[in-house]
Structure 1
Amino acid sequence: MSVSLETEIPGTGSIPTALRPPRDQTSVPEEHLLNSANAGFLIHRVGQLKNEFRDEGLEFSSELVELINSKQAGYISIFHFEELFGTHNRLHWLLHLKRPDDYARMLDMVDHNDTWRDVSQRNRLPRKGGGNWERMFVEGSMSETIICPQHGLSAHDDTDHDEDHEHAGDTFQPAALHQTTLPPERLLNSVNSALTVHRTFRVPYALREEARVFAFEWCGYVNQALEGRMTAFLYEEMWGRQDTLHLLLHATSLDSYHRLLDMERNDRGLRALRDSQRLPEAAGGAVWHSTLIEGSQRDTLWVPVHRSAKAEGTAP
C-alpha cells in the first residue's frame, strides 16, 4: 500500500516530520518480511538503554535487526522502536515468527554464526571503558512477552484451520489479517506503518468471552472507519498473565491517532458499540467498561528507530 508518511507533530508549527516505516530498517524486500498481519507468533522485547550509551545502543540494535532479518528471511522478522511521549531511551523490539519452533533457528545462529558473534561481542565502547550491549542496558530491564493473534471470533475461524495451513503460511495461530474482511493490500502493519500504538488491558475472568468479542468488534469498526489510515489487530498474551489482551494499532501519522481519539469521544457508531449490552439484564447487563479491569488499560506510542545518515554511511 502506498501511503503518505509525512505528518506534523502537534505544537511544532509548520515543521514537517517524515516518519519512516520499519521496513526501512532492513535491506530485505518487504515481500519477504513477516509482520503483525501475517505472523502467527510474536515476541515483544523491551530494554532500557542507559543515557550514556544511547548512540552505541541504537547502532547495536540496528545491526542486530539487519542481521536477523537478512539471515532469517521468511522465518523471523524483527523491528525496533522507541517510545514517543513515554520513557526516554526505552527500546521495543517486535519479533515475528510463523511458529514458535522457528525460534530455534535464531538460537542456532547465536551459537554458530560468526557475524552474530561480532555484533554481540565486538568492543563498542573503546573510549568508555570497553564492552558491548551488556553495558548499554540497565540491569534487569530486559523483558519479553509472547502474544498471538486472537482467533475464534471471525468467519475465517469457522473453517478448518488445519486445511488452511498451507495457504496461511503454516502459522501457529491464524494470522491477524484474518480478523478483518479488508484485503491485505489495504492493511497497515508493523512493517509499513509510521506509528504503532500498543494498547494493553486486562479483563475479568467471568467476562473473558464478552471482552474478546467487544475488542474484536471494536477493531473491526476502527478498521472500516479509518481504512488506509489505521489498522487494529487483536492479540492475546501467551504463557504470561492470564486474560491480558493486546492491541496493535498501526497508523500512517499522528493525525490518524488523533482521529481515533476523536472517534472514541464523538463517533456515533463507535459510541453505540461501546454502549451495547454485553450481557442480558438477568446476568447484570454489562456494557463495554465492565469487560475491562479498572486502571489496566495502557497505551504506548512507538516510533520506528532509524540510524542517522552518518551511521548509515550516507551524506547527512
Structure 2
Amino acid sequence: MRSRPPPAAFGAPPGRRVPSILVSTAVPRSDSRSWSRTFDDLAGGWAQRQLWGHLGWQDIKQRYRRSVLGPIWITISMAVTAIALGILYAGLFGNDLAVQLPYILVGFIVWGFISGCILEGADVFIANEGLIKHLPSPLTVHVYRLIWRQTLLFAHNMIVYAVMLVVFPQPLTWTVLAALPAFALLMANGSWVALLLGVVTTRFRDLTPITQSIVQLMFFLTPIVWIYEDLVNSPNTAIAERARLAEFNPFLHFVEIIRRPLLGEDQHLRHWIVVLVITVVGWSLTLFVMRRYRSRVSYWV
C-alpha cells in the first residue's frame, strides 16, 4: 500500500515540496532571550509612565475609596505605631524620648518603603495576572507601578517627619540633601528586587510566604527600634561585639544612608559603598534572569 505524501502548504503547487523555512514563521527562541529584548522591556515600561503613574495613584485611591481621611490613614497608623514603640523602647533602654522617637520614626518610614517593595514585589506579576494576559505591555510596567505606589506612600509618611521636626527639632544642615540621592538608590534597588522576586516567585509560589517570614525577621535584626551606635559603644564587650554583627545586615546600610541625613547626623562612607555594590550586583543578576525567563512569565501566572 502506497503512503500518501504530506499535504502541500497553502498556495504551493501540488506535488512540489516547500522549504521548511517558508512554513515555519515562529520567532526563534534565542531571539526572545536576547539582551535587546530585555533592555527594550525596561525602556518600553518607562515610556508608558503615564499608564503606570495613573494605575499607581488609583491603587491608593481604591484602597481608601470610602474613607473620610483617605490615604492620610497610612500616615496616622504609622505615626501611632512609631510613637508607641518610641515610648516603650525609650523606657527600656533608658534613652531620652527626644532621641529615641525620631530615630524610630524615620526608621519606620524608610523600612515601610523597603518592606513594601519586597513583599509586594514577590506578588507583582501574580497580582497582575489579568493585565499581563490581556494587556500587551512590557512586564516592567507593573514594577514601575509598584515603585511609584510605594513612593507615594513614602511621601505621605514624610508628613509625620515634618511634624516631628516641629516637636523635636533636629540639627539639620545642608547634608540633609544627601537623602535625595539616597532615596534614588533605594528606588533603584526596590526595582531590581521587585523584578527578580516577581519572576522567581511566579514560577515557585512557595517562596511568597518564605519572603514574608524573612522580612518580618529582618525587621527585628535591623536597627529600626533599637539604636545601633548605643549598643556598639556599650561598655559590655559581649553586647558590643554582637551588635557589630549588624554590619553584615544589608538593610542596615539602606536605612542609614537616609536616616542619618534626615536626623542631621554625619554620613559614613561604608554605608554608601555597600549600597552601591549591592545595586550593581543586584541589577546584574536581575538582568540575567530577565533575559532568560522574561518571556515565560506570561505562561507562569
TM, length-normalised to structure 2: 0.24
Which of 1 and 2 has greater Rg? Answer: 2
Q: Between Structure 1 and Structure 2, which shows a larger proportion of strand residues?
A: 1
The structure where helix makes up a greater share of residues is: 2
* Alignment TM-score, normalising by the size of structure 1: 0.23
